Amino acid sequence: MLTSSPKLIFAICCSVTVAAAQSVDPAMLLNPPVDSWPTFHGDYSGQRHSKLTQITPASVHQMTLAWAFPTNQTQSIKASPILVNGVIYITTPDNIWAIDARTARQLWKYTYPMNDGFHIGHRGAAVYKDSVFLTTPDAHLLALDARDGKVKWNVVIADSKRGFWSTMAPLLIRNHLIVGVSGDFDNLPGTLRSFDPDTGKPQWTFNSTPPVGTPGSISGGSTGGQMWMTGTFDPGLNLLYVGTGNPTPVLNGVARAGDNPWTCSIVALDPDTGKLAWGFQASPHDTHDWDAVEIPVLADVDFQGTPRKLLLQASRNGHFFVLDRTNGKSLLTTTFAAVNWTKGIDSQGRPIPNPEKEPHRDGRLVAPNETGATNFRQPSFDPVAGLFVVSAADGYGLYFFKDDHGAYGWAGADYDVTSHAAIRAIDYQTGKIRWSHDIGEGTGAAGVLTTASGLTFTGDVGGNALALRTSDGATLWHATFGRMNNAPITYELDGRQYVVMAGGSSLYAWTLPLPAAAQRP
Amino acid sequence: MIHRTLVLELAVLILVISPLPAQQGGRGGPPAQSPASRLPPKTVTPQTYPADQIQAGESRFISQCGFCHGRDAQGGESGPDLTRSPLVAGDVRGDKLTPLILAGRPAAGMPAFSLPSADIDAIVAFIHDAKTKTESEKGNRRSVDVEDLQTGNAEAGKQYFNGAGGCAKCHSVRGSFATVGARFQGLALMQRMLYPRNRAPGATPGLLPATVVTNANGQTISGRLAYRDEFTITIVDANEWSHSFPVATVKIEGDDPLREHTEQLGKYTEKDMHDVFAYLQSLK
């Protein structure tokens, strides 16, 4: 594959010149080439399953470091790298770097002015034509020139003075740039907005809970339901799928009777209008901060003998949901981690909360803990193996609520007891755990990537990057370069497959070693 | 399971755990009482700061610290209530807080912050101001008070402890365990009852059975478990020397000393938990 032939090198150079820049446009996003990772999930499905097969279970132990890129920030990298046109874009709160994907040389860096939003983390950028988009801690959306990082426009997504902030990697669907916000320290309506990627002009707003006092509101007095993770998209059905966060007040369920739709839900929206097509509540009447924002993974596969359009989610509340994504109807609900808060599953496939496990004055022992059975860390679905691989945790927490805690914002108290983490492979047709790979005491922070060669890349609690065999979870490779707080990505450049993972505040690219002959100048 | 876990012999547990040694102070050991179930410690050296510095500090605090510690410094998603922190109470104009902010507490999940000194000074001013305001408040919106927890029955708890709960298999009520209810109160006792973690640096030595590692030559080293993943185990011996071993090359005993506590979490009913708590409170 690799050669030092001058003729071939010349040919490659020429083709790059002629082809000009790789353009991210609606057509490209429908079928991303292997030398790109153009969106948070890599594609619209959220499967994080790469068709690349150069690195195999037999060769993965030979992987060698191609480059490292330290951001020199005190914050760790939580963002997905975005790769387009041979350039990687990586973010931390207020910061974005453009680096050469072949050398890790910095092309430019942009730093947003000091601001008062929460600087808790950042999930990544988005790219469209010659623009790179960045959300900010004070809930602005910026378009930067992809070539030099100059600001083209800057618009407000939501008012940070009211308690909104944003960490989200935007999702581009045709001419809609879709961004969400966070904000459960205040009683705020769940807000997802669409902007014109060329001009920054607002297009629509979807509220998962209506503003307080809205006549005819179905939310039962609840606010919240923020949409702070990037959604997925089915171009055939023209539906955008997004998970919504917890209701507010967070731990006080007394102030908001009923199920509190559409908090802790998966919602299907028309990306052209923001109108709700259907909703499915993962946690009706949540009182434990279990956002259902985990990735709604889309797959067109057989389900118990019938070809189906599925939506799969491993949810923070400990349940694995399989839905028919054409209509939101439940096909399967099981648990994939320790769960003690339900009285069973209702006829719609939703867990039934046990009132005894609501936060109470005397403290209630609840599994999962507040961090959840899983969380923002992305899962992966290998459709050939039929396995949904997720970073899970069996955790317990103590939950308190009394009237003194009030009905605003957090409105309660909770304390972690303990948690044990594992990478789990779920058989999507039965919900059964095929294998569980212990990753330590505490909670993992790394997402998962699977490849068509049968590999699973992820990280453990302590700071090891791992390559596992997808079929049985056996460890095939590991390297210790700092705790991984993002999900690995992979791509092929110049005929070589790379796997890029973060350790702490640095990015590391791994690849198979070149044959000795190819190393000669 | 992929990960090899050696079963800790029950006999070893009984020998080493019982009785629980007395809580020892110093070396930053776990607090005897949860900050949330007692009055906040008073500021040792009262300090005042200019209003504009406090205001600037509030804005810096919210953006850098607020998600974990709450916008009012009274605790957030994952960080403790700073207005009840003994470290804040003993701080004088940042002499303890500034180095902590700059270095972080990576093991506890707090990153280091490389902020300009004016920003850190302002954050310190805001934290002290927030603490002063809290001291004058009657209640606290995130408080858990000892009396909140009194819903159990001590006699039923004793029966569960000695019977169905299986606690008595490892714990006998003598020695210092006989006064556990005097040494720990409220939420701290409940948390300790559920999961008496000792993994943190500076945790009380000898609280849990030693972890014993035997290498290929038959040499044995025992000590406190400091780190464990699927590849490496690290123990700290009695002289505070750290020893690491590849897991694949050694025999390990006692690397999951809290296994029974973990398993018990899945068995407790709310009634059992509060009953056992009431029983432990009665051991004075």
Span A436-494, pLDDT tens digits = 999 999 999 999 999 999 999 999 999 999 999 999 999 999 999 999 999 999 999 99
What is the rounded distance in angstroms from the CA atom of residue A127 to the CA atom of residue A91?
13
Strand-by-strand arrangement of the A151-156 sheet: A126-128, A131-135, A140-145, A151-156
- Closest residue in B to A339 (Cα) is B266
Span B51-66, pLDDT tens digits = 999 999 998 998 889 8
Chain A residues within 8 A of B111 when measuring between CB atoms: 74-76
Number of Cβ within 10 Å of residue A9's Cβ equals: 12
Please report whether residue A4 resides in a domain.
no
Chain B residues within 8 A of A411 when measuring between CB atoms: 141
pLDDT of residue A370: 94
- Closest residue in B to A357 (Cα) is B270
Nearest to B229 by CA among A444, A371, A463, A476: A463
Asked if B265 and A363 come within 8 Å (Cβ–Cβ), the reply is no
Span A14-45, pLDDT tens digits = 444 444 467 899 999 999 999 999 999 999 99
What is the rounded distance in angstroms from the CA atom of residue B13 to the CA atom of residue B25?
24
- Residue of B99 and B188 predicted with greater confidence: B99
Which tokens is A196 given?
A: 């014109």
How many interface pairs between A and B have CB atoms less than 8 angstroms apart? 128
**What is each CA distance from B63 to A117, A374, A408, B105, in whole angstroms?**
5, 26, 20, 18
Span A173-183, pLDDT tens digits = 999 999 999 99
pLDDT of residue B38: 52
Residues B222/B241, Cβ–Cβ less than 8 Å: no
What is the rounded distance in angstroms from the CA atom of residue B270 to the CA atom of residue B265?
11
What is the rounded distance in angstroms from the CA atom of residue B60 to the CA atom of residue B222?
46
Please report whether residue A11 resides in a domain.
no
Of A114, A412, A417, the CB nearest to B265: A417
Instruction: Please tell me what DSSP assigns to residue B148.
Output: G
Span A283-319, pLDDT tens digits = 999 999 999 999 999 999 999 999 999 999 999 999 9
Residues A79/A486, Cβ–Cβ less than 8 Å: yes
Residues A115/A136, Cβ–Cβ less than 8 Å: yes
Q: What 3-state DSSP class applies to B265?
A: helix
Residues A78/A486, Cβ–Cβ less than 8 Å: yes
Q: Which CATH architecture has domain B36-135?
A: Orthogonal Bundle (1.10)
CA angle A194, A200, A205 (to 5 degrees): 25
Q: What mean pLDDT, rounded, does chain A reach?
A: 94
Share of chain A above pLDDT 90, in %: 88
Of B59, B111, B140, the CB nearest to A74: B111
pLDDT of residue B22: 32
Q: What are the φ and ψ backbone dihedral angles of A19, each rounded to 5 degrees? A: -70, -15
Is the minimum CB–CB distance between A4 and chain B shorter than 8 Å?
Answer: no
Q: Which of residues 262-281 of A touch B (CB under 8 A)?
A: none
- Domains of chain B: which residue ranges? 10-33+146-202+258-282, 36-135, 211-253
Total domain count, chain A: 1
Span A57-109, pLDDT tens digits = 999 999 999 999 999 998 899 999 999 999 999 999 999 999 999 999 999 99
Asked if A402 and B63 come within 8 Å (Cβ–Cβ), the reply is no
Nearest to A457 by CA among A382, A375, A372: A382
Q: What's at A486, amino acid-wise?
A: N
Cis? peptide before A262, omega within 30° of 0: yes
The strand pair at A87-92 and A151-156 is best described as unpaired
Chain B residues within 8 A of A363 when measuring between CB atoms: 144, 148-149, 187, 190
Angle between helices B51-69 and B117-135 (to 10 degrees): 80
What is the rounded distance in angstroms from the CA atom of residue A175 to the CA atom of residue A200?
11
Which tokens is B150 given?
A: 């009194």
Instruction: Find all residues with CB under 8 Å of B233, minimum gap 6, and list them.
Output: B211, B213, B225, B227, B244, B245, B247, B250, B252, B255
pLDDT of residue B42: 81
CA angle B206, B207, B212 (to 5 degrees): 55
- CATH number (domain holding residue A118): 2.140.10.10
Instruction: Please tell me what DSSP assigns to residue A101.
Output: T
